[in-house]
């Protein structure tokens, strides 16, 4: 399977039309159709459902959707590899790819980037947000250099360094909520309340132990991936969101944050694949990141 043909396939998936894709690729429609048919024959699967005479719209089969996802990852990885090889000289330039969840700890990563920018202004940073499953998946595929996750990672697969600061769990709520009168929130305060919780499974054991309840037995009215979205649900009165501190600016808003008691902290670490060979840009950033952590 040639990379060029993968690019052709993605163009068809994007345009939802062979003729439209042929035009964008500056190819004749018969040439493009022949290339796509050859790829289907090579894989032994139908990838595209061609429209009838009355409709030229092209849709993807289930196998076609799988190939689209993988093709995007493959081409992105090829682009990164080309960039790293092209830029592999004495001048430190290039891109650093980071995956992280929503946390104020990103400020430390930003400080490291700012410091290194003074010496290496041609290093550029690309941050992708997601939960631990997302971050580790992208690490495994080679699409990011580093990931920030809570908890620990499999030491057989990943190297890691602990982050010296921790986030604190609490409850995001409306200022007119009954619990807003309290300085901190205890487990029994939430047993009968509508709760909005992270759908990241790794959070559940910690919260369940603190709550002294099985999460599934509580009144979970919604789950979230992005805290900002959870804050909108809270603002509309749907429930109380269990989340980390410093993520939502509650100043001059309808919302407030109250920490849990007993205090529940979340420890995080930076992870990368074992035996990872970093680009010069990524290596410089890692060294600065370790130095920044040591000062914190």
Per-residue pLDDT, 53: 60
pLDDT band at 160 (very low <50, low <70, confident <90, very high): very high
Per-residue pLDDT, 55: 59
Q: Which of 34-38, 81-85, 172-176, 248-252 has the lowest mean pLDDT?
A: 81-85
Is residue 286 over pLDDT 70?
A: yes
Is residue 99 over pLDDT 80?
A: yes
Biggest distance spanned by C-alpha atoms of the chain: 71
Q: Which of 26-35, 88-97, 219-228 has the lowest mean pLDDT?
A: 88-97
- Which residue matches tokens 């076609």? 64
Is residue 54 over pLDDT 60?
A: no
% of the chain with per-residue pLDDT over 90: 64
Q: Quick check: 228 and 211 in contact, CB under 8 A? A: no
pLDDT band at 231 (very low <50, low <70, confident <90, very high): very high
The b/e string for 141-176 (b: 16+ C-beta within 10 A; e otherwise) is eebbbbbbbbeebeeeebebeebeebbebbbbbbee
**Per the structure block, which two tokens stand in for 260?**
């849990």
225 exposure class (CB count in 10 Å sphere: 0-12, 13-18, 19+): middle
Rounded to an integer, what distance in angstroms lies between the CA atom of residue 144 and that of residue 282?
10
Mean pLDDT on 158-168: 93
Per-residue pLDDT, 151: 85
- Hey, is 56 helix, strand or coil? coil
Rounded to an integer, what distance in angstroms lies between the CA atom of residue 14 and that of residue 20?
9
Is residue 15 over pLDDT 90?
A: no
The b/e string for 33-60 (b: 16+ C-beta within 10 A; e otherwise) is bebbeebbeeeeeebbeeeeeeeeebeb
Predicted structure pTM score: 0.71
Local structure of residue 141 (DSSP, 8 states): T
Mean pLDDT on 219-237: 95
pLDDT band at 123 (very low <50, low <70, confident <90, very high): very high
For all residues of the chain together, what is the average pLDDT?
90
- Secondary structure, 3-state, 149-206: EECCCCCCCEEEEECCCCEEEEEEEECCCHHHHCCCECHHHHCCCCEEEECCHHHHHH
Per-residue pLDDT, 89: 60
**Per the structure block, which two tokens stand in for 164?**
């010296």
pLDDT band at 110 (very low <50, low <70, confident <90, very high): very high
Is residue 203 over pLDDT 80?
A: no
């Amino acid at each position: 399977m040639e990379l060029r043909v993968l690019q052709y396939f993605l163009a068809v998936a994007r345009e939802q039309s062979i003729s439209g894709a042929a035009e964008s690729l500056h190819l004749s429609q018969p040439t493009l159709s022949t290339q796509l048919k050859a790829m289907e024959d090579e894989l032994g699967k139908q990838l595209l459902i061609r429209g009838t005479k009355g409709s030229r719209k092209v849709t993807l089969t289930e196998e076609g959707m799988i190939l689209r996802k993988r093709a995007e990852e493959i081409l992105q990885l090829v682009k990164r590899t080309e960039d790293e090889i092209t830029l592999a000289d004495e001048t430190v330039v290039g891109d650093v790819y980071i995956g992280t969840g929503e946390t104020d700890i990103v400020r430390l990563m930003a400080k490291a980037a700012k410091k290194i920018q003074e010496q290496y202004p041609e290093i550029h940073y690309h941050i992708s947000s997601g939960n631990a499953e997302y971050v580790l998946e992208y690490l495994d595929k080679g699409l990011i250099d580093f990931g920030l996750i809570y908890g620990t990672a499999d030491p057989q697969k990943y190297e890691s360094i602990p982050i010296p600061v921790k986030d604190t769990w609490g409850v995001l709520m409306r200022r007119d909520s009954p619990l807003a009168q309290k300085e901190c929130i205890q487990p029994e305060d939430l047993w009968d309340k509508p709760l909005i919780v992270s759908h990241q499974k790794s959070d559940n054991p910690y919260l369940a132990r603190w709550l002294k309840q099985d999460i599934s037995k509580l009144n979970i009215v919604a789950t979230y991936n992005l805290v900002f979205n959870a804050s909108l649900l809270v603002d509309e009165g749907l429930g109380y969101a269990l989340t980390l501190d410093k993520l939502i600016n509650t100043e001059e808003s309808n919302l407030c944050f109250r920490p849990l008691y007993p205090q529940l902290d979340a420890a995080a670490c930076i992870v990368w694949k074992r035996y990872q060979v970093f680009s010069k840009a990524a290596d410089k950033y890692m060294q600065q990141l370790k130095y920044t952590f040591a000062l914190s």
